[in-house]
Amino acid sequence: MPKKKTPDENKPKVNNPNVMGLRAEVLEQLITDTMETNFMPYAMSVILSRAIPEIDGFKPSHRKLLYTMYKMGLLTGARTKSANIVGQTMRLNPHGDGPIYDTMVRLSKGYGALLHPFVDSKGNFGKVYSRDMAYAASRYTEAKLSPICQELFRDLDQDAVDFVDNYDNTMKEPSLLPTTYPNLLVSANQGIAVGMASQLCGFNLAEVCDATVAYLKNPACDLSSILVGPDFPTGGEVIYDQAALEEVYRTGRGSIKIRGKYRYVKSENLVEIYEIPYTTTVEAILDKVAELIKSGKLKEINDMRDETDLNGLKLTIDLKRGVDPDKLMARLYKSTTLQDSISCNFNVLIAGTPKVLGVRELLEEWCAWRTGCVRRRVYFTLGKKKDKLHLLKGLKRILLDIDKAITIIRETENEADVVPNLMIGFGIDQIQAEYVAEIRLRNINKEYILKRVQEEQALRDEIDDLEDLVGDPRRIKKLITGELEAVKKKYGQPRLTSIVYEHEITAYNEEDETPDYPVTVFLSRHGYFKKITPQSLRMADVQKYKEEDGPSQSFETTNRAEVMFFTNRQQVYKCRLSEFDDSKASLLGDYLPSRLGMDQEESVVRMILPGDYSGALLFFFENGKAARVDLSAYATTSNRRKLTGAYSDKSPLSALLHLTEDRELALYSTEPRALIFNTALLSPKSTRTTQGVQVMTLKPKYHLSEVKPVEDTSITNLPRYRCRSIPAAGALLKEEDGEQMRLL
């Protein structure tokens, strides 16, 4: 039998005898092995140690920075240079000074990204609402911890959380910070890991504390009545949508609409925008407004400028005379990021496992974790008091016969034998004997003895109370509730983001702003488009075209109508006629491939006015097939201007007709043959790219050339060409019926 190969022997090995004069050995490795050994550890590291926040509301980079500042004494001390903080933090965070300083900037008061910043900064730290306002280098700025950080570190020295080794095992750092309030819901946080992301919006601290207290008292409480919506440091308004909020609270996913605030200064005829959505910047808004003005879609504005100063953000818009500021702002809300949506994805690490949780589940997890922290703190305090009681018990024995203790100490020859002799003489352990031996001679008096005896009894009472606290969940909840109420009282602040209801909003309707009047539209064979008013047509109705160009289609309609342009690349472009300027018969008009931004060598094959999107479109292809597609398939709820896959690309398009009611059509082939059929024989298809059904059977060297309504043809003998079912070959075209073909 052949010898069975080991897994290593199965892996192919390639030897290159000479590579730069050296012998090189190249090993091939399966991609699955590479993923397992290289990529998966990296992915897990990013998820667990970098991008996803944990139950205390911090990522590792935040926690390392704040803990370093705490150990530097910056909670109560004076500010120090940011460069000094960054350098000290590198003992815990090995990712370099740049990312560490970026983290400090985001946590700072000057940057303004958090409702309750953790870093009390001095100097230029940039602004969250500005894309171009860069922060100063770390050597120029100073910082210390904000007062609210007391709530992060209060229990840290009482064994409330675990400590772990840093990256090089030279010091310890906390695995979590024992926050006394649900910082996870107060501090906005976002991160992108491998295969997952996290996006947590901030809520008002006072509301979060109230909601947590209500949950501790009744886990089934109505949270939406307490947490009315997110609160953002940039202010603005949350557009209240109860269904959307409840979805976010329930699943941890969804989106919430927010918009900026403005005021109208009547004396100067200008609008001042003083708060913008948390998700955008002043530069993004200014760029978009400039784009709208340049394209001619925003003619009500004389000027818009950024007047942000030390007093805060301010964008000023100078209005033209007679402009309604509310209607203009409604338009800007719709057209720019002055109104935006913030996505919510409450993805949090729970005991090392990423989970997407709703608000109620987050409160449940935080309350359970905080209960564990409080228990550990109580156990720590209980242990300290028990140790002290143990010492007092030994002291009590000594004090019952103090003369004996003095005699033992006096008669002991060696200092090292004092503690053992006291242990033997009074039956106490080494710890108690050490404590007694360290008592100063001046403390051996009646007052001291009485105080120690009274202290022992007080300690016993405290120990009993702590043991009862540890074993009583209701008392633990009451303790957490008291801490939350204290945090609310000390650090709570009014909402920065107000709530506005949809019925209070002036909705912008583009049609209301667009004048409506009769127009006639013309499309040439080469793709030139004109929109002409009746008055202009009466003055001159002879249309101008380029050489070898000519009329293709024309319709009478109104300025507000929608128009669709189908192209030879199976695409359709949708727009409003109001977007085109009024033209004249003496002008060529707009060249659609350039105006609509079509692809190279793409051209218009048909213009359709959809109206209310009733009826159907009939697509006829050169292979004799036809597809009937409901026009409603091209209706879109969003303002999409371009749809791909407008019709099938299996065969070239011969004709495209808008059908409002069934009628008879005449089909011509290049043989030449003609076929008349009723469109009722075509069943509607559900997809736009359907090939349809065979209508006219063709010989291999011929193709379908044209489709016309019967009344637009010169056919006199209609029964000859009419069919009752499809597919059909039609009949050879007679000379007296072929005038239409001779004109082609």
3-state secondary structure 650-667: CCCEEEEEEECCCCEEEE
Phi and psi at 120, nearest 5°, equal: -85, 100
Q: Which residues contact 266 (CB under 8 A, 6 or more apart)?
A: none
- Predicted pLDDT of residue 148: 96
- Predicted pLDDT of residue 349: 94
Select the more confidently predicted residue: 737 or 78: 78
Res 321 pLDDT > 80: yes
End-to-end Cα, the chain, rounded Å: 82
H or E element at residue 389: helix 359-400
Q: How far is residue 691's CA from residue 677's CA, in Å, rounded to a whole number?
A: 19
Band of pLDDT at residue 557, cut at 50, 70 and 90: very high
Q: Which residues contact 327 (CB under 8 A, 6 or more apart)?
A: 506, 508, 513
Query: Taking residues 202-206, what's their average pLDDT?
Result: 96
3 state SS of 278: coil
H or E element at residue 102: helix 97-106
Res 743 pLDDT > 60: no
Condensed to tens digits (0 to 9), the pLDDT of residues 398-425 reads 877 888 888 888 888 888 888 898 888 8
Q: Which residues contact 271 (CB under 8 A, 6 or more apart)?
A: 262, 263, 264, 265, 316, 317, 319, 325, 328, 329
Looking at every residue in the chain, the average pLDDT score rounds to 88
* Strand 604-608 relative to strand 590-591, pairing: unpaired
- Predicted pLDDT of residue 104: 97
Q: How far is residue 721's CA from residue 739's CA, in Å, rounded to a whole number?
A: 15
Identify the CA nearest to 161 among candidates 49, 55, 72, 48.
55
- Predicted pLDDT of residue 11: 47
Range in 25-39, 122-136, 547-561 the model is least confident about:
25-39
Which positions are catalytic? 140
Domains, the chain, ranges and CATH?
Answer: 7-42 (no CATH), 52-179 (3.90.199.10), 261-337 (3.30.1360.40), 369-491 (1.10.268.10), 510-742 (2.120.10.90)
- Whether 676 and 719 have beta carbons less than 8 Å apart is answered as no
Q: Which residues contact 129 (CB under 8 A, 6 or more apart)?
A: 112, 234, 276, 280, 281, 282, 313
- Whether 373 and 155 have beta carbons less than 8 Å apart is answered as yes
Map tokens 């009769």 to a residue. Answer: 518
Res 29 pLDDT > 80: no
Condensed to tens digits (0 to 9), the pLDDT of residues 586-643 reads 889 999 999 898 988 899 999 999 988 989 999 999 999 999 999 988 987 666 688 9
* CA contacts within 13 A on the Cβ side of 140: 8
E-assigned strand segments in 559-698: 562-567, 571-576, 590-591, 604-608, 616-621, 625-630, 642-644, 653-659, 664-669, 673-678, 684-685, 693-694
Which whole-number Å values give the CA distances from 640 to 67, 357, 632, in the listed order? 50, 34, 15
3 state SS of 553: strand
Q: How far is residue 198's CA from residue 743's CA, in Å, rounded to a whole number?
A: 67
Res 512 pLDDT > 70: no
- Whether 325 and 176 have beta carbons less than 8 Å apart is answered as no
Name the β-bridge partners of 28: none
Specify the amino acid at residue 215. Answer: Y
CA angle 246, 247, 249 (to 5 degrees): 60
- Predicted pLDDT of residue 380: 94
Band of pLDDT at residue 20, cut at 50, 70 and 90: very low
- Predicted pLDDT of residue 157: 92
Res 581 pLDDT > 90: no
* CA contacts within 13 A on the Cβ side of 541: 6
Res 508 pLDDT > 70: no
Res 702 pLDDT > 50: yes
Q: What is the pTM (predicted TM-score) of this model?
A: 0.71
- Whether 560 and 609 have beta carbons less than 8 Å apart is answered as no
Query: Taking residues 438-467, what's their average pLDDT?
Result: 81
Identify the CA nearest to 645 among candidates 609, 611, 690.
690
CA angle 147, 152, 154 (to 5 degrees): 90
Map tokens 């089934």 to a residue. Answer: 220
Condensed to tens digits (0 to 9), the pLDDT of residues 330-342 reads 889 988 999 999 9
Q: Which residues contact 638 (CB under 8 A, 6 or more apart)?
A: none
Of all residues in the chain, what percent carry a pLDDT higher than 70? 94
Q: Which residues contact 421 (CB under 8 A, 6 or more apart)?
A: 408, 409, 412
Res 511 pLDDT > 60: no
Condensed to tens digits (0 to 9), the pLDDT of residues 76-110 reads 989 999 999 999 999 999 888 999 999 999 999 99
Select the more confidently predicted residue: 247 or 6: 247
- Predicted pLDDT of residue 741: 46
Query: Taking residues 24-35, what's their average pLDDT?
Result: 71
- Predicted pLDDT of residue 637: 67
